[in-house]
Amino acid sequence: MAIHNLEVNGAYLLDLPVVSDPRGDLTFIENQQHIPFDIARVYYLYNVPVDAQRGGHAHRDLQQVIFALSGSFRVLLDDGQHKTEVTLRNPGIGLYINRMVWREMDFFSQGAVCMVIASNPYDESDYYRNYEEFIEASHASKK
Ligand code: TYD
Protein backbone atom coordinates (compact mmCIF):
# COMPACT_ATOMS: atom_id res chain seq x y z
CA MET A 1 0.00 0.00 0.00
CA ALA A 2 1.87 3.11 -1.22
CA ILE A 3 1.66 6.24 0.89
CA HIS A 4 2.19 9.80 -0.35
CA ASN A 5 2.98 12.35 2.34
CA LEU A 6 1.43 15.80 2.33
CA GLU A 7 2.65 19.16 3.68
CA VAL A 8 0.84 18.65 7.00
CA ASN A 9 1.44 16.19 9.81
CA GLY A 10 -1.24 13.58 10.32
CA ALA A 11 -2.52 13.39 6.76
CA TYR A 12 -1.39 11.42 3.71
CA LEU A 13 -2.72 9.88 0.52
CA LEU A 14 -2.91 6.10 0.28
CA ASP A 15 -3.27 3.95 -2.81
CA LEU A 16 -5.83 1.17 -2.67
CA PRO A 17 -5.73 -1.95 -4.83
CA VAL A 18 -7.28 -1.50 -8.26
CA VAL A 19 -8.31 -4.48 -10.38
CA SER A 20 -8.82 -3.28 -13.94
CA ASP A 21 -10.13 -5.23 -16.90
CA PRO A 22 -12.13 -4.30 -20.01
CA ARG A 23 -15.31 -4.29 -17.89
CA GLY A 24 -14.03 -1.51 -15.68
CA ASP A 25 -12.12 -0.94 -12.43
CA LEU A 26 -12.68 -2.56 -9.04
CA THR A 27 -11.25 -1.33 -5.72
CA PHE A 28 -11.62 -3.14 -2.40
CA ILE A 29 -10.96 -2.29 1.22
CA GLU A 30 -10.34 -4.95 3.85
CA ASN A 31 -10.36 -4.19 7.56
CA GLN A 32 -6.82 -4.14 9.04
CA GLN A 33 -5.31 -4.49 5.56
CA HIS A 34 -5.81 -1.26 3.66
CA ILE A 35 -6.91 1.16 6.38
CA PRO A 36 -4.61 1.95 9.36
CA PHE A 37 -7.36 1.48 11.99
CA ASP A 38 -10.31 -0.76 12.77
CA ILE A 39 -13.33 0.35 10.73
CA ALA A 40 -16.20 1.39 13.03
CA ARG A 41 -18.31 3.52 10.69
CA VAL A 42 -18.83 4.41 7.03
CA TYR A 43 -20.76 7.47 5.88
CA TYR A 44 -21.09 9.34 2.62
CA LEU A 45 -21.96 12.80 1.38
CA TYR A 46 -24.00 13.18 -1.80
CA ASN A 47 -26.40 15.71 -3.33
CA VAL A 48 -23.86 18.32 -2.22
CA PRO A 49 -24.53 21.73 -3.84
CA VAL A 50 -21.50 22.84 -5.85
CA ASP A 51 -21.07 25.97 -3.69
CA ALA A 52 -21.39 24.11 -0.36
CA GLN A 53 -18.67 24.02 2.26
CA ARG A 54 -18.47 20.97 4.51
CA GLY A 55 -16.16 19.92 7.30
CA GLY A 56 -14.91 22.91 9.23
CA HIS A 57 -13.83 20.87 12.22
CA ALA A 58 -11.16 18.65 13.76
CA HIS A 59 -11.47 15.62 16.00
CA ARG A 60 -10.02 14.88 19.40
CA ASP A 61 -9.64 11.18 18.71
CA LEU A 62 -11.25 10.14 15.40
CA GLN A 63 -9.21 8.93 12.42
CA GLN A 64 -10.74 8.91 8.95
CA VAL A 65 -9.99 7.99 5.36
CA ILE A 66 -11.87 10.03 2.74
CA PHE A 67 -12.57 9.02 -0.86
CA ALA A 68 -14.11 10.69 -3.89
CA LEU A 69 -16.18 7.75 -5.13
CA SER A 70 -17.54 9.93 -7.92
CA GLY A 71 -16.67 13.43 -9.13
CA SER A 72 -14.23 15.58 -7.18
CA PHE A 73 -13.86 18.00 -4.29
CA ARG A 74 -11.13 19.94 -2.52
CA VAL A 75 -9.98 19.26 1.05
CA LEU A 76 -8.13 21.96 3.01
CA LEU A 77 -5.97 20.53 5.81
CA ASP A 78 -4.42 22.29 8.81
CA ASP A 79 -2.40 20.56 11.54
CA GLY A 80 -2.19 23.73 13.63
CA GLN A 81 1.20 24.65 12.14
CA HIS A 82 1.05 23.85 8.43
CA LYS A 83 -1.73 24.07 5.88
CA THR A 84 -2.17 22.34 2.54
CA GLU A 85 -4.93 21.39 0.14
CA VAL A 86 -5.62 18.33 -1.94
CA THR A 87 -8.23 17.63 -4.61
CA LEU A 88 -9.66 14.12 -4.51
CA ARG A 89 -10.98 12.70 -7.79
CA ASN A 90 -9.65 9.12 -7.98
CA PRO A 91 -11.79 6.47 -6.22
CA GLY A 92 -8.66 4.31 -5.81
CA ILE A 93 -6.88 6.91 -3.65
CA GLY A 94 -7.86 7.67 -0.05
CA LEU A 95 -6.95 10.65 2.10
CA TYR A 96 -6.01 9.57 5.63
CA ILE A 97 -6.68 12.22 8.30
CA ASN A 98 -5.50 11.63 11.85
CA ARG A 99 -6.88 13.16 15.04
CA MET A 100 -6.17 16.87 15.59
CA VAL A 101 -6.18 17.88 11.92
CA TRP A 102 -8.61 20.64 10.92
CA ARG A 103 -10.33 19.99 7.55
CA GLU A 104 -12.64 21.93 5.27
CA MET A 105 -14.17 20.61 2.04
CA ASP A 106 -15.43 22.62 -0.91
CA PHE A 107 -15.53 22.84 -4.73
CA PHE A 108 -17.72 19.74 -4.98
CA SER A 109 -18.33 18.81 -8.61
CA GLN A 110 -21.87 18.09 -9.78
CA GLY A 111 -22.84 14.62 -8.56
CA ALA A 112 -19.77 14.17 -6.34
CA VAL A 113 -19.93 11.39 -3.77
CA CYS A 114 -17.59 11.55 -0.76
CA MET A 115 -17.23 8.34 1.25
CA VAL A 116 -15.64 8.45 4.70
CA ILE A 117 -14.33 5.46 6.64
CA ALA A 118 -14.00 6.24 10.34
CA SER A 119 -12.34 4.68 13.38
CA ASN A 120 -15.19 5.39 15.84
CA PRO A 121 -18.96 5.75 15.90
CA TYR A 122 -20.36 9.28 15.62
CA ASP A 123 -19.73 11.32 18.79
CA GLU A 124 -20.38 15.06 18.80
CA SER A 125 -18.17 15.53 21.88
CA ASP A 126 -15.18 14.36 19.79
CA TYR A 127 -15.45 17.45 17.52
CA TYR A 128 -13.62 20.76 17.65
CA ARG A 129 -16.00 22.97 15.68
CA ASN A 130 -14.34 26.21 16.74
CA TYR A 131 -11.05 26.93 14.93
CA GLU A 132 -9.51 29.04 17.72
CA GLU A 133 -10.28 26.32 20.26
CA PHE A 134 -8.65 23.74 17.97
CA ILE A 135 -5.52 25.90 17.50
CA GLU A 136 -5.19 26.43 21.24
CA ALA A 137 -5.54 22.70 21.96
CA SER A 138 -3.17 21.82 19.13
CA HIS A 139 -0.44 24.19 20.39
CA ALA A 140 -0.94 23.09 24.01
CA SER A 141 -0.50 19.43 23.04
CA LYS A 142 2.82 20.23 21.28
CA LYS A 143 4.38 22.01 24.29
P1 TYD B 1 -20.80 17.00 10.13
O2 TYD B 1 -19.79 16.07 10.70
O3 TYD B 1 -20.78 18.43 10.59
O4 TYD B 1 -20.72 16.96 8.54
P5 TYD B 1 -19.55 17.47 7.58
O6 TYD B 1 -18.26 17.22 8.26
O7 TYD B 1 -19.67 16.64 6.37
O8 TYD B 1 -19.81 18.89 7.27
O9 TYD B 1 -22.24 16.37 10.38
C10 TYD B 1 -23.41 16.97 9.88
C11 TYD B 1 -24.59 16.48 10.71
O12 TYD B 1 -24.76 15.07 10.56
C13 TYD B 1 -24.42 16.75 12.20
O14 TYD B 1 -25.67 17.18 12.72
C15 TYD B 1 -24.08 15.41 12.78
C16 TYD B 1 -24.72 14.41 11.83
N17 TYD B 1 -23.93 13.17 11.70
C18 TYD B 1 -24.41 12.00 12.24
O19 TYD B 1 -25.50 11.96 12.85
N20 TYD B 1 -23.65 10.85 12.08
C21 TYD B 1 -22.47 10.85 11.43
O22 TYD B 1 -21.81 9.77 11.31
C23 TYD B 1 -21.97 12.09 10.91
C24 TYD B 1 -20.65 12.15 10.18
C25 TYD B 1 -22.74 13.23 11.06
pLDDT tens for the chain, 143 residues: list them: 689 999 999 999 999 999 999 999 999 999 889 999 999 999 999 999 999 999 999 999 999 999 999 999 999 999 999 999 999 999 999 999 999 999 999 999 999 999 999 999 999 999 999 999 999 999 998 77
Which atom of ligand 1 is closest in space to residue 122's alpha carbon? Answer: 22
Alpha-helical runs (H) found in the chain: 131-142
pTM of the predicted model as reported, rounded to 2 decimal places: 0.96
What's the CA-to-centroid distance between 117 and ligand 1, angstroms?
Answer: 13
CA-nearest residue, atom 6 of ligand 1: 55
Q: Is 129 helix (H, G, I), strand (E, B) or coil?
A: coil
What's the CA-to-centroid distance between 24 and ligand 1, angstroms?
Answer: 32
Which residues share a beta bridge with 3?
A: 14
CA-nearest residue, atom 9 of ligand 1: 55
